[in-house]
């Protein structure tokens, strides 16, 4: 496959829906906070519906539930969750989302526009920005005169719905004979998920390097290539498999996979794409860029075994 055709498949692009939360300030003024969410996670945007309160709820951010064409969905006041005091208005909007088959709604002040861009425009948040939102800002986007914070809505919901809480997933971390000789590179912008995957792999015996973006993963592979050449080895003697998230700032998982397949030093390196967001379209894209496996949340408990079997399978054909 030519480089151009691969880049056409994985052009590192995404679409972001921009929304606003109008925040009341202590001095009585109003501040418009700008945020974003990946279009792929949004089902629709509606007006504020009639909400049924839930007396037993424990989180003040949860407004209650509402009926959307026969579906009862929870609705969360995003401003309250972020520690903001949002201006109430009949024009407030509700963003309906879906993650791992779970649907939920978020109340915001307004939805303003959709931006199409490359992932390399999304900056990773620094530690101060992460602390600003309970570690739920996954990226920062600068547009003209404003800054958009890309929120990890799935992590926000995880505190309310155990189906979405990755930390509750029991991964089979049983020791695997021979795993200690294999080095796995993990790329994921979620600190918590990166830790879960790294910890479980290490418990099974693998050597693990974990990074926070596709660009960091690519840079690490290039450093390994130089080290391998200096030692008269192949890069695949030093790194045996890559696990990559799909959505990451700077470089997404599809672009990382495409680069791995185009480079003569890395093209035989097995790649697993891991994400809660694997639609049919994304699965097709993963196949076309050359991913060996695509693993979603329901497959996470058996990830270590998949890693081991794929490494052994690739080594047999080396």
Q: What is 23-88 written as a DSSP string? A: EE-TTS-EEEEEEEEEGGGEEEEEE----B--TT---TTEEEEEEETTEEEEEEEHHHHTT--BPP
Regarding whether 204 and 290 lie in a shared domain, the answer is: yes
Regarding whether 200 and 113 lie in a shared domain, the answer is: no
Instruction: Give the chain's length.
Output: 318
Regarding whether 120 and 54 lie in a shared domain, the answer is: yes
Instruction: State phi, psi for 313 to the nearest 5 degrees.
Output: -65, -45
Instruction: State phi, psi for 182 to the nearest 5 degrees.
Output: -110, 140
The residue among 130, 163, 196 that closes a domain is 163
Regarding whether 142 and 79 lie in a shared domain, the answer is: yes
CA gyration radius for the chain?
A: 21
Strand 183-187 to 241-245 pairing:
parallel
Regarding whether 154 and 15 lie in a shared domain, the answer is: yes
* Structure tokens belonging to residue 20: 């606003």
Flag whether 17 is in a domain. yes
Would you state the pLDDT for residue 41? 86
**Strands of the chain, DSSP E:** 13-24, 30-38, 42-47, 62-68, 71-77, 93-99, 102-108, 110-118, 137-143, 146-151, 183-187, 207-211, 241-245, 271-274, 293-295
Using a cut of 0.75, tell me whether the model's pTM lies above it.
Answer: yes
Q: Which H helix or E strand runs over 192? A: helix 191-204
Closest to 240 in 3D by CA, of 282, 209, 276: 209
The residue among 139, 163, 187 that closes a domain is 163
Flag whether 124 is in a domain. yes
Residue 210, strand partner residues: 186
Flag whether 61 is in a domain. yes
Domains identified in the chain, total number: 2
Flag whether 1 is in a domain. no
Regarding whether 266 and 200 lie in a shared domain, the answer is: yes
CATH number, domain with residue 252: 3.40.50.2300
Flag whether 90 is in a domain. yes
Flag whether 5 is in a domain. no
Regarding whether 185 and 302 lie in a shared domain, the answer is: yes
The residue among 140, 163, 186 that closes a domain is 163
Regarding whether 133 and 226 lie in a shared domain, the answer is: no
Regarding whether 306 and 269 lie in a shared domain, the answer is: yes
Would you state the pLDDT for residue 1? 41
Q: Which residues have a Cβ under 8 Å from the Cβ of 160 and sit 6 or more positions away?
A: 59, 62, 74, 76, 104
Q: Tell me the pLDDT of the chain (318 aa) as tens digits.
A: 444 444 445 567 889 999 999 999 999 999 999 999 989 889 999 999 999 987 655 678 889 999 999 999 989 999 998 889 999 998 999 999 987 677 889 999 999 999 999 988 999 888 788 776 667 888 899 998 899 999 888 778 776 655 545 555 567 789 999 999 999 999 998 877 888 899 999 999 999 999 989 999 999 999 999 999 999 999 999 999 999 999 888 899 999 999 999 999 999 999 999 887 677 778 898 999 999 999 987 788 899 999 999 999 988 886
Regarding whether 173 and 94 lie in a shared domain, the answer is: no
Alpha-carbon gap, residue 284 to 254, rounded angstroms:
11
CATH number, domain with residue 45: 2.40.50.180
Alpha-carbon gap, residue 233 to 227, rounded angstroms:
8
**Domain around 193:** 169-316
Sequence-distant contacts of 304-309: CB under 8 A, at least 24 apart: 304/171, 304/172, 304/173, 304/174, 304/176, 304/179, 304/200, 304/201, 304/204, 304/206, 305/172, 305/176, 306/272, 307/184, 307/201, 307/206, 307/241, 307/243, 307/272, 308/176, 308/178, 308/179, 308/182, 308/204
The SS3 assignment for 207 reads strand
Flag whether 303 is in a domain. yes
Regarding whether 228 and 104 lie in a shared domain, the answer is: no
Regarding whether 188 and 311 lie in a shared domain, the answer is: yes
Flag whether 239 is in a domain. yes
């Amino acid at each position: 496959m030519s480089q151009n055709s691969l880049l056409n498949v994985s052009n590192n692009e995404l679409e972001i829906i921009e929304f606003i939360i109008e925040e009341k300030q202590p001095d009585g003024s109003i501040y418009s906070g700008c945020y974003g969410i990946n279009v792929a996670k949004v089902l629709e945007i509606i007006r504020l519906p009639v909400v049924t309160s839930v007396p037993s709820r424990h989180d003040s951010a949860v407004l209650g539930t509402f009926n959307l064409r026969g579906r009862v969905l929870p609705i969360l006041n995003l401003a309250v969750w972020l520690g903001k005091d949002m201006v109430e208005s009949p024009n407030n909007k509700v963003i309906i989302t879906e993650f791992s088959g779970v649907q939920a709604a978020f109340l915001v002040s307004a939805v303003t526009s959709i931006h199409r861009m490359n992932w390399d425009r999304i900056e990773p948040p620094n530690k101060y920005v992460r602390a600003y939102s309970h570690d739920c800002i996954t990226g920062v986007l600068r547009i003209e005169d404003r800054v958009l914070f890309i929120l990890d809505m799935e992590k926000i919901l995880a505190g309310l719905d155990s189906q979405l809480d990755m930390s509750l997933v029991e991964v089979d971390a049983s020791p695997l004979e021979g795993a200690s000789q294999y080095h796995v590179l993990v790329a994921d912008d979620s600190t918590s998920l990166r830790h879960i995957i790294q910890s479980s792999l290490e418990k099974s015996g693998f050597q693990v390097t974990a990074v926070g973006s596709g660009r960091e993963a690519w840079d690490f592979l290039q450093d390994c290539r130089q080290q391998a050449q200096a030692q008269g080895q192949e890069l695949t003697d030093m790194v045996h498999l890559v696990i990559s998230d799909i959505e990451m700032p700077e470089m997404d998982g599809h672009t990382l996979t495409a680069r791995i397949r185009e480079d003569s030093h890395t093209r035989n390196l097995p790649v697993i794409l891991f994400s809660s967001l694997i639609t049919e379209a994304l699965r097709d894209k993963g196949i076309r860029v050359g991913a060996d496996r695509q693993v979603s949340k329901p497959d996470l408990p058996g990830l270590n075994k998949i890693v081991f079997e794929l490494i052994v399978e690739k080594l047999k054909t080396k």
